[in-house]
């Protein structure tokens, strides 16, 4: 009996070892209570499944191990420690909140494992990572905050040049009173430039227990902007639009800039012709085969359509990583870094993703956002014109 | 036959009420002349705060327990209403009745399983219990439905009126109506019905009530269920205007607790006045450019000031 037990144990260990040798482990972290992160995680798994079905990478299967960082810095660090020391992952992936990523920087630098990051827009993270060569292991896909601000300023400049009826002289920002809103207010003033007249006012986000936007809307009405931007969170979207309608506030451009939108916001008549910032819109499916392929595959796998740009971004990240591992012949750090540097990936987001130096780090992926508009219940891309799927509706018609 | 003439001597409390009322009227006129929308939105916000806080005041006044899961019950009701709207096609204003009934039953179950067992425990234990209940509710919803916010897009919530150059939303007066109905309805219930009088007696003196034959446990269960049923109504109303997500109830638990603390134990009228003061102050500050960022703080400043004044008065007495 004892002999049988020992034999079985040896066989099991051999099998486990064999399995471990045939697997490349990708360790990812996201706040899984957030819908955008859930979609990112699912999209990453979709990419892994597709790659494995096609034979894997360098003869091995990919294994995605996801740990919930709960949107908390300390939990993010714990997630990283677990992925590295317990799960013994080969590469790191994912990320969403800047605060969590910032907390993880010391540990990321300590281990120096090749990391493809999907989140973290704040340049605080970039400054924490520091310049090359100390941060060369880190490949950042999401645009930094200053990238985003500059792209919006360029976008509005290009739109006004192409569509002479679009005239923007006065910009009003309604911003939530926390760090996200305040940094948006400071960013707009510094990045949009001197050609505009600015005003702004803060509000308490519904996410923090607020429920009334009358103060900011009245201030905006008094200012009379051409472009009204609100920077808050998803729960603010519809109530703000409802209150704007009730107060008869209808600027030529009404634009929302939350990190994510409510799932069914597009179905509200009030959202018609509202603009937003983002990296992807489902309207791109009509123009871009990669977007359509990803969208349909996601829908088939999970029964629902993706709503957040984090889904195609995360999907792209896995394919980028897989291609680099294939090129490098494995996960050896220096070879993998060299292979990632040569990335040219045609993504479902529309652009071809490459890595180039940003203000601080050496490996920055996407450098801009897009300007979107809801038209007929579907989000369409207005700018950049290379990816645009429609022309802008300007001025915004009366609230429906 | 000589009729005895009744001489009405104005009491100190009625003088105070007259003075307070007059001052309030002057303030209201001043606000209206400055910015009519401040008065409108201040009243509406006051209505929202009061309607949510009144059920908590009821439980504190009768059962003598602070329900720190109060906002989470509202959140659960809002989710139930959302599903009633999406799956059954019921408008929230219709769904609020069955949701309220379901919530009452849920409240009864929660009382029997948890609250009842902690009534004789130290107050800290009671606070921890209800706090834990709140976390359990919000985390359960989070696990089931994620943290993504959900909305209903309803035409009637954007109804508006125009006075001069000012346009303002009128739908939110529904919260004012709800607060008045809750306050008035509870007053009638507690003073005119047998169950209400029994509950009032239990709230004032549970031991004495038990001695005269009132079933104290039954009164507590009824009041707790009624409170959860009322907050269930508010959950449905809340959904008509606000996005819902698992932690949406937390800030309202805190505000309700502060309002109830400010008004005094079981003082529903005090909750109304407190809500009015806070609603107007908050909205007024958001309309003054230099004070916008301070509007959240005014809430706590008023509460701290009220509690300090009360403490000083009690000390003098």
Locate the chain A residue with the closest alpha carbon to B292.
A202
Whether A317 has a pLDDT exceeding 90, the answer reads yes
Smallest CA–CA distance, residue A33 to chain B, in Å, is: 5
C-alpha A45/C-alpha A74 separation (Å) is: 25
Residues in contact with A388: Cβ distance below 8 Å, sequence separation at least 6, in sequence order: A380, A381, A382
Tell me, yes or no, whether A315 and A251 share the same domain. no
Answer for the pair B54, B182: CB distance below 8 angstroms, yes or no: yes
Angle, in degrees to the nearest 10, between helices A310-328 and A289-302? 100
Smallest CA–CA distance, residue A101 to chain B, in Å, is: 20
Q: Tell me, what's the pLDDT at A3?
A: 61
C-alpha A231/C-alpha A184 separation (Å) is: 7
**Domains, chain B:** 36-156+167-316 (1.10.3470)
Tell me, yes or no, whether A216 and A332 share the same domain. no
Task: Give bridge partners of residue B166 from the DSSP assignment.
Answer: B163
Tell me, yes or no, whether A93 and A138 share the same domain. yes
Q: In this structure, what is the dihedral angle of CA atoms A184, A186, A187, A192, given to the nearest 10 degrees?
A: 120
C-alpha A129/C-alpha B224 separation (Å) is: 54
Residues in contact with A160: Cβ distance below 8 Å, sequence separation at least 6, in sequence order: A166, A167, A168
Task: Give bridge partners of residue A62 from the DSSP assignment.
Answer: A24
Work out how many domains chain A is built from and give that number: 2
Answer for the pair A353, A316: CB distance below 8 angstroms, yes or no: yes
Nearest to A109 by CA among A71, A136, A86: A136
CA–CA–CA angle B260, B257, B47 (5° rounding): 65
Written in H, E and C, the secondary structure of chain A is CHHHHHHHHHHHHHHHHHHHHCEEEEEEEECCCCHHHHHHHHHHHHHHHHHHHCCCECCEEEEEEEEECCCCHHHHHHHHHHHHHHCCCCEEEECCCHHHHHHHHHHHHHHCCCEEECCCCCHHHHHHHCCCCCCCCEEECCCCHHHHHHHHHHHHHHHHHHCCCCCCCEEEEEEECCHHHHHHHHHHHHHCCCCCEEEEEEECCHHHCCCCCHHHHHHHHHHCCCEEEEECCHHHHHHHHHHHHHCCCCCCEEEECCCCCCCCHHHCHHHCCCEEEECCCHHHHHCCHHHHHHHHHHHHHHCCCCCCCHHHHHHHHHHHHHHHHHHHCCCCHHHHHHHHHCCCEECCCCCEECCECCCCCCCECCCCCEEEEEECCEEEEEECCCCCCCCCCCCCCCCC
Number of H helices, E strands in chain B: 12, 2
Tell me, yes or no, whether A84 and A176 share the same domain. no
More confidently predicted of B313 and A18: B313
Locate the chain B residue with the closest alpha carbon to A177.
B293
Tell me, yes or no, whether A312 and A324 share the same domain. yes
How many Cβ atoms are within 10 Å of A300's Cβ, its own excluded?
9
Q: Is residue A214 part of a domain?
A: yes
CA distances to B30, B87, B265 from B235, rounded to whole Å, are 34, 17, 23
Of A33, A233, A246, the CB nearest to B142: A33
More confidently predicted of B59 and B309: B59
Of A212, A235, A267, the CB nearest to B243: A235
A382, with CB counted inside 10 A (0-12, 13-18, 19+), is buried
Helix or strand run (H / E) with residue B219: helix B216-241
Tell me, yes or no, whether A165 and A202 share the same domain. yes
Provide the CATH number for the domain around residue A178. Answer: 3.40.50.2300
How many Cβ atoms are within 10 Å of B69's Cβ, its own excluded?
26
C-alpha A126/C-alpha A340 separation (Å) is: 19
Task: Give bridge partners of residue A91 from the DSSP assignment.
Answer: A26
Interface confidence (ipTM) of the complex: 0.80
How many Cβ atoms are within 10 Å of A255's Cβ, its own excluded?
22
Which residues of chain B have a CB within 8 Å of the CB of A258? none
Tell me, yes or no, whether A135 and A228 share the same domain. no
Whether B93 has a pLDDT exceeding 60, the answer reads yes
Q: Which of A72, A232, A238 is the best substitution to test chain B (most B C-beta atoms within 10 A)?
A: A238
C-alpha A177/C-alpha A199 separation (Å) is: 15
Which residues of chain A have a CB within 8 Å of the CB of B251? 208-209
Q: Tell me, what's the pLDDT at B21?
A: 73
Tell me, yes or no, whether A81 and A222 share the same domain. no
Tell me, yes or no, whether A180 and A115 share the same domain. no
Q: Is residue A336 part of a domain?
A: yes
Whether A10 has a pLDDT exceeding 60, the answer reads no
Tell me, yes or no, whether A131 and A13 share the same domain. yes
What average pLDDT score do residues B42-49 get? 94
Question: Domain of A206?
Answer: 147-278+370-383
What DSSP string describes B241-277?
Answer: HS-B-TTTTHHHHHHHHHHHHHH-TT-HHHHHHHHHH
Smallest CA–CA distance, residue B241 to chain A, in Å, is: 6
How many Cβ atoms are within 10 Å of B300's Cβ, its own excluded?
12
Answer for the pair A250, A398: CB distance below 8 angstroms, yes or no: yes
Q: Is residue A400 part of a domain?
A: no
Q: Is residue A361 part of a domain?
A: no
Give me Rg for the CA atoms of chain A.
Answer: 23
Confidence of residue A16 (pLDDT cuts 50, 70, 90): very low
Smallest CA–CA distance, residue A138 to chain B, in Å, is: 29
Q: Is residue A360 part of a domain?
A: no
Confidence of residue A7 (pLDDT cuts 50, 70, 90): low
Q: Is residue A393 part of a domain?
A: no
Order of all β-strands in the sheet with A91-94: A61-68, A23-30, A91-94, A115-117, A138-140
C-alpha B186/C-alpha A202 separation (Å) is: 38
Model confidence over A99-144: pLDDT tens digits?
Answer: 899 999 999 999 999 999 999 988 899 999 999 999 999 999 999 9
**Residue length of chain B:** 317
Q: Tell me, what's the pLDDT at A199?
A: 92
Model confidence over A221-259: pLDDT tens digits?
Answer: 999 999 999 998 888 999 999 999 999 999 999 999 987
What is the pTM for the complete model shown? 0.82
Distance of CA A64 to the CA centre of its chain: 19
What average pLDDT score do residues A68-82 get? 93
C-alpha B76/C-alpha B79 separation (Å) is: 5
Q: Do A247 and B292 touch (CB under 8 A)?
A: no
Smallest CA–CA distance, residue A87 to chain B, in Å, is: 24
Task: Give bridge partners of residue A381 from the DSSP assignment.
Answer: A372
Answer for the pair A212, A237: CB distance below 8 angstroms, yes or no: no
Tell me, yes or no, whether A153 and A257 share the same domain. yes
Lowest mean pLDDT among A76-90, A195-209, B39-53, B179-193: A195-209
Tell me, yes or no, whether A93 and A110 share the same domain. yes
C-alpha A288/C-alpha B234 separation (Å) is: 46
Cis before A252 (ω within 30): no
CB pairs under 8 A between A and B: 122
Model confidence over B61-80: pLDDT tens digits?
Answer: 999 999 999 999 999 999 99
Answer for the pair B183, B50: CB distance below 8 angstroms, yes or no: yes
- Calculate what percentage of chain B has a pLDDT beyond 90: 61
Of B148, B160, B251, the CB nearest to A262: B148
Q: Tell me, what's the pLDDT at A18?
A: 43
Whether A17 has a pLDDT exceeding 50, the answer reads no
Confidence of residue B307 (pLDDT cuts 50, 70, 90): confident
Which residues of chain A have a CB within 8 Å of the CB of B293? 177, 202
Strand, helix or coil at B163? strand
Task: Give bridge partners of residue A197 from the DSSP assignment.
Answer: A170
Q: Do B160 and A248 touch (CB under 8 A)?
A: yes
Q: Is residue A365 part of a domain?
A: no
Q: Tell me, what's the pLDDT at B147?
A: 77
How many Cβ atoms are within 10 Å of A72's Cβ, its own excluded?
16
Nearest to A216 by CA among B288, B252, B299: B288
What DSSP string describes B129-158?
Answer: HHHHHHHHHHHHHHHHH-S--B----GGGG
């Amino acid at each position: 009996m004892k002999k049988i037990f020992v034999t079985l144990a040896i066989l099991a260990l051999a099998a486990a070892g064999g399995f471990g040798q045939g697997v490349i482990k990708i360790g990812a972290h996201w706040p899984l209570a957030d819908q955008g992160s859930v979609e990112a995680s699912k999209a990453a798994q979709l990419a892994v499944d597709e790659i494995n079905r096609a034979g894997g990478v360098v003869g091995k299967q990919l294994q995605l191990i996801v740990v919930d960082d709960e949107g908390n810095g300390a939990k993010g660090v714990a997630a990283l420690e677990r992925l590295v020391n317990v799960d013994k992952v080969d590469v790191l992936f994912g990320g969403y909140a800047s605060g969590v990523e910032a907390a993880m920087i010391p540990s990321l630098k300590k281990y120096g494992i090749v990391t493809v990051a999907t989140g973290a827009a704040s340049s605080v993270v970039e400054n924490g990572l520091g310049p090359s060569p100390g941060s060369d292991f880190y490949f950042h896909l999401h645009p930094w905050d200053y990238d985003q601000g500059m792209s919006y300023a360029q976008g509005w400049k290009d739109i006004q040049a192409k569509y002479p009826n679009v005239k923007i002289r006065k910009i009003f920002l309604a911003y939530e009173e926390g760090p996200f809103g305040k940094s948006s207010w400071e960013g707009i003033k510094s990045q949009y430039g001197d050609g505009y007249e600015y005003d702004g006012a803060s509000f308490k986000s519904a996410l923090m227990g607020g429920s009334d936007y009358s103060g900011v809307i009245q201030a905006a009405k008094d200012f009379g902007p051409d472009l009204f931007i609100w920077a808050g969170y998803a729960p603010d979207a519809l109530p703000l639009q409802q209150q704007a309608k009730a107060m008869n506030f209808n600027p030529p451009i009404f634009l929302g800039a939350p990190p994510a939108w409510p799932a069914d916001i597009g179905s509200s008549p009030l959202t018609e012709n509202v603009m937003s910032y983002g990296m992807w819109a489902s309207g791109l499916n009509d123009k871009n085969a990669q977007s359509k392929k990803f969208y349909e595959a996601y829908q088939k796998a999970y029964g629902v359509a993706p709503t957040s740009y984090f889904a195609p971004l995360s999907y792209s990240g896995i394919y980028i990583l897989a291609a680099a591992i294939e090129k490098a012949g494995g996960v050896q750090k220096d070879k993998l870094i060299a292979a990632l540097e040569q990335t040219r990936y045609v993504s479902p987001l529309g652009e071809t993703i490459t890595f180039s130096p940003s203000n601080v780090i050496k490996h920055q992926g996407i450098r801009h956002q897009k300007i979107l508009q809801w038209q007929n219940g579907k989000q369409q891309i207005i700018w950049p014109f290379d990816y645009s799927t429609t022309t802008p509706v300007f001025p915004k018609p009366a609230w429906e | 036959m000589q009729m005895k003439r009744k001489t009405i001597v104005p009491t100190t409390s009625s003088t105070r009420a007259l003075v307070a009322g007059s001052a309030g009227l002057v303030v209201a006129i001043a606000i209206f002349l400055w910015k009519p929308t401040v008065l409108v939105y201040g009243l509406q916000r006051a209505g929202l705060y009061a309607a949510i806080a009144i059920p908590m005041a009821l439980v504190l006044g009768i059962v003598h327990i602070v329900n720190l899961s109060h906002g989470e019950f509202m959140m659960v009701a809002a989710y139930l209403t959302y599903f009633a709207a999406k799956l059954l096609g019921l408008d929230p204003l219709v769904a609020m009745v069955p949701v309220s009934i379901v919530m009452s039953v849920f409240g009864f179950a929660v009382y029997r399983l948890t609250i009842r067992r902690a009534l004789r425990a130290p107050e800290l234990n009671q606070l921890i219990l209800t706090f834990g209940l709140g976390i359990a509710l919000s985390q359960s919803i989070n696990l089931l439905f994620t943290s993504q916010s959900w909305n209903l897009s309803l035409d009637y919530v954007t109804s508006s009126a125009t006075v001069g150059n000012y346009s303002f939303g009128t739908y939110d007066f529904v919260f004012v109506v709800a607060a008045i109905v809750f306050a008035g309805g509870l007053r009638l219930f507690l003073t005119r019905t047998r169950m209400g009088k029994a509950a009032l007696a239990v709230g004032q003196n549970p031991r004495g009530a038990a001695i005269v034959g009132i079933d104290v446990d039954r009164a507590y269960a009824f009041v707790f269920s009624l409170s959860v049923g009322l907050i269930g109504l508010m959950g449905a109303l809340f959904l008509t205007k606000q996005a819902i997500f698992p932690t949406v109830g937390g800030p309202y638990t805190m505000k309700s607790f502060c309002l109830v603390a400010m008004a005094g134990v079981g003082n529903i009228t005090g909750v109304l006045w407190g809500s009015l003061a806070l609603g107007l102050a908050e909205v007024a500050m958001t309309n003054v450019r230099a004070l916008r960022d301070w509007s959240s703080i005014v809430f706590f400043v008023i509460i701290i000031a009220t509690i300090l004044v009360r403490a000083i008065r009690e000390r003098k007495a």
